[in-house]
Amino acid sequence: MAHTQEVAGSSPAPTTCLFSIGQIQMKFEDGIKLDFEDVLIRPKRSTLSSRSGVNIEKVYNYLHASVQEAVVPIVAANMDTVGTMAMAEKLGPEGMQTCLHKYYNVAELVDFFTEKPRLGTFFTIGVKQDDVDKLLTVDDMLPEMDKCGLGIHKICIDVANGYQKVFVDHVKRCREFFPDAVIMAGNVCTPEMVSELLISGGADIVKIGIGPGSVCTTRMVTGCGYPQLSAIIECADAAHGLNGHICADGGCRMPGDVVKAFAAGADFVMLGGMLAGTDECEGDWEYEGWINTHIGRVQIGTSLNPDKKKSLKFYGMSSEDAMEAHNGGVGTYRTSEGKSESVAYKGSVMDVIQEITGGLRSACAYVGARSLKDFPKCATFIRTNRVHY
Ligand code: 5GP
């Protein structure tokens, strides 16, 4: 069901207008677009006596996949540091989701999906034929999913720019191969493309976010993008009108941002940077005093104290570091749209998750929502005139 998200003080539906600058007319979209730091959620009188009573599990029915499930809709991003099998192992039993990164080989994937049911794990592919071939190969080697719960139940089709027609065709082709799987596809940031991916592509969930990621430089390099809170509000409205879902991807730096994404209407929220630096990540760790040295992904040196992690090298999947690791460098026709940073060690991912779920429960209590399902209906944003962090 479509719902309208309230933003106190902001203008309603966007309109494109012609704006004259001297003799020249330029197209401008009217109405301000907002990001997480532009708003807060207004506390309201509530009959809830305790935040512990708030239910943050939600039941999902999908537009195309014949699945009904109850999940906690937090998703680990399909980045090679964060979308790991160890992450899926940890988040799965909590009812949370992981989009595996694309760089596991066939044998690793077959082992992983054969070991036990992986209902919360997305098999991630891009748009290359090799990706589809790998998916089909792994799928062929697995038991049929209906019979024992094993197999590939969820597919994430990820591309930096989901606006190309070939992408919609690609998603449609994957839907033909996997009529019963939950398919998440993106990224886009505007309602018309959400509708196209849901209806023409056959996606169940559309991934929303162009430019908000913590290690993304798309806005700086290309000048393109869309403030993430507005993108979520507008895309959720389009998706819900079609019984589809969206996954807000990127830009959450702290639990309050995850809360705002759900308040804005996100059905799922995907996290990269917030989960980076936890024990469940893969990659180049720096240890107290010593560093592991690598050539590509092959380690050639050892650390003195492997139990004392200090920081993790976390990089965007379009960064020079990622292209160096996976594509043999940056191609001549493209430029990097990601950066690298060092993130401090955070311990178990469950410590981070507990902060997020604690924030969510508390936010529901502040606005009188008994469950995450009710939260967007209960939430009213207020626009703030300064950064409040
Ligand atoms: P975060 O939670 O770290 O703010 O955002 C994670 C998301 O950033 C990912 O799921 C992905 O959509 C996006 N992302 C990851 N790497 C890159 C990159 O190199 N360039 C761009 N433009 N986006 C990236």
Q: Is the CB of 131 under 6 A from ligand 1?
A: no
Q: What is the pLDDT of residues 334-372, one digit of tens each?
A: 789 999 999 999 999 999 999 999 999 999 999 999 999
3-state secondary structure of 183: strand
Burial of 327 (0-12, 13-18, 19+ CB in 10 A): exposed
User: For residues 135 and 112, what is the distance between their CA atoms, to the nearest angstrom?
Assistant: 13
Q: Is the CB of 186 under 6 A from ligand 1?
A: no
Q: Report the catalytic residues.
A: 216
Tokens of 33: 């677009």
Computed over every residue of the chain, the mean pLDDT equals: 91
Tokens of 249: 């991807």
Q: What is the pLDDT of residues 261-278, one digit of tens each?
A: 999 999 999 999 999 999
- Name which residue sits closest to atom 10 of ligand 1, judged by CA: 77
Reported confidence tier of residue 9, pLDDT bands at 50, 70, 90: very low
Burial of 139 (0-12, 13-18, 19+ CB in 10 A): buried
Q: What ligand 1 atom has the least distance to the C-alpha of 99? A: 10
Reported confidence tier of residue 5, pLDDT bands at 50, 70, 90: low
Q: What is the pLDDT of residues 149-196, one digit of tens each?
A: 789 999 999 999 999 999 999 999 999 999 999 999 999 999 999 999
Mutation pick for ligand 1 pocket among 100, 216, 315 (CB with most ligand atoms within 8 Å):
216
Q: What is the pLDDT of residues 307-321, one digit of tens each?
A: 788 999 999 999 999
- Name which residue sits closest to atom 17 of ligand 1, judged by CA: 316
Residue in the structure block whose two tokens are 């070991």: 115
In sequence order, the β-bridge partners of residue 17 are 28
Mean pLDDT of 375-389: 87
Q: Is the CB of 227 under 6 A from ligand 1?
A: no
In sequence order, the β-bridge partners of residue 382 are 8, 40
- Name which residue sits closest to atom 22 of ligand 1, judged by CA: 216
pLDDT of 25 reads: 87
Residue 139 backbone phi and psi in degrees, to 5:
-60, -40
pLDDT of 61 reads: 98
Q: Is the CB of 317 under 6 A from ligand 1?
A: yes
- Is 287 in contact with 306 (CB distance < 8 Å)? yes
Residue whose C-alpha is closest to residue 181's, from 59, 61, 67, 58:
67
Q: Is the CB of 213 under 6 A from ligand 1?
A: yes
Residue whose C-alpha is closest to residue 229's, from 260, 199, 200:
260
pTM value is 0.92
pLDDT of 198 reads: 98
Q: What is the pLDDT of residues 101-138, one digit of tens each?
A: 999 999 999 999 999 999 999 999 999 999 999 999 99
Residue in the structure block whose two tokens are 């895309």: 235
pLDDT at 295 over 90: no
